[in-house]
Chain A
Amino acid sequence: DGGITQSPKYLFRKEGQNVTLSCEQNLNHDAMYWYRQDPGQGLRLIYYSQIVNDFQKGDIAEGYSVSREKKESFPLTVTSAQKNPTAFYLCASSMDSSGNTIYFGEGSWLTVV
């Protein structure tokens, strides 16, 4: 089935650890995105990539890093520099940037313990 797969769905992180969230899409989409959602709030853009080997910071990039080595993959690393990482993380993709629908994965819950 075509879609966006995020893993893991639930992740617990100890203070000072880096963790990586996986995002894979088989929709042949050029653009991919990472959003963060805090309880009861809207989504905020962390990073986005319009093409392989290129990515741009979003509104809240501090403490996060990404890579885009393959078209179908856009992993997000939450570093120890992110002071409040507990949140719901959503990966998304779209065919390009010309108004096509942006589709979301099922999300990953990250909790700092």
Chain B
Amino acid sequence: ELKVEQNPLFLSMQEGKNYTIYCNYSTTSDRLYWYRQDPGKSLESLFVLLSNGAVKQEGRLMASLDTKARLSTLHITAAVHDLSATYFCAGGDYKLSFGAGTTVTVRA
């Protein structure tokens, strides 16, 4: 069974600074997903990473995948308040295993 670990679990960001969320997984995974969840809401898909070395960017968010290290990172550039949310990574084929989530709070 694929295990997914995220860290940190809580991240307090200062506006304008850069931060990284890490996602480690235990066994080979064909793909790695990143999702965003606002309080009380559903999950919004951010990125799907399908191969080693994959890098995807959308606005201030950039995700990368290193399958040899079994590591994905979500990098946040110049944090803004709108990025406050909980971010999940998930791995697997069609049966996703989710990390516990990283709750991000951006302060002025």
Chain A residues within CB distance 8 Å of chain B? 31, 33, 35, 40-45, 48, 50, 58-59, 90, 94, 96-97, 99-107
Q: Which residue of B lies closest to A59 (CB)?
A: B1
The verdict on B13 contacting chain A, using a C-beta distance below 8 Å, is no
Residues of B within 8 A of A48 (CB): 94-95
Interface residues on B, range: 20 to 34
Residues of B within 8 A of A41 (CB): 100-101
Give the shortest distance, in Å, between A110 (CB) and chain B (any CB). Answer: 14
List 6 additional A-B contacts (Cβ < 8 Å) besides A33-B94, A101-B45.
A35-B98, A43-B43, A99-B30, A99-B48, A103-B45, A104-B43
The answer to whether B41 and A107 have CB atoms under 8 Å apart is: yes
Chain B residues within CB distance 8 Å of chain A? 1, 4, 30-31, 33, 35, 41-45, 48, 50, 88, 90, 93-101
Give the shortest distance, in Å, between A18 (CB) and chain B (any CB). Answer: 24
CB contact between A102 and one of B41, B45, B97, B99 (< 8 Å): that residue? B45
CA distance A106 to B50 in the complex (A): 26
The answer to whether A42 and B99 have CB atoms under 8 Å apart is: yes
A sample of 10 cross-chain residue pairs with beta-carbon separation below 8 angstroms, ordered by A number, consists of A33-B94, A35-B98, A42-B100, A99-B31, A99-B48, A99-B93, A102-B45, A104-B45, A105-B42, A107-B42
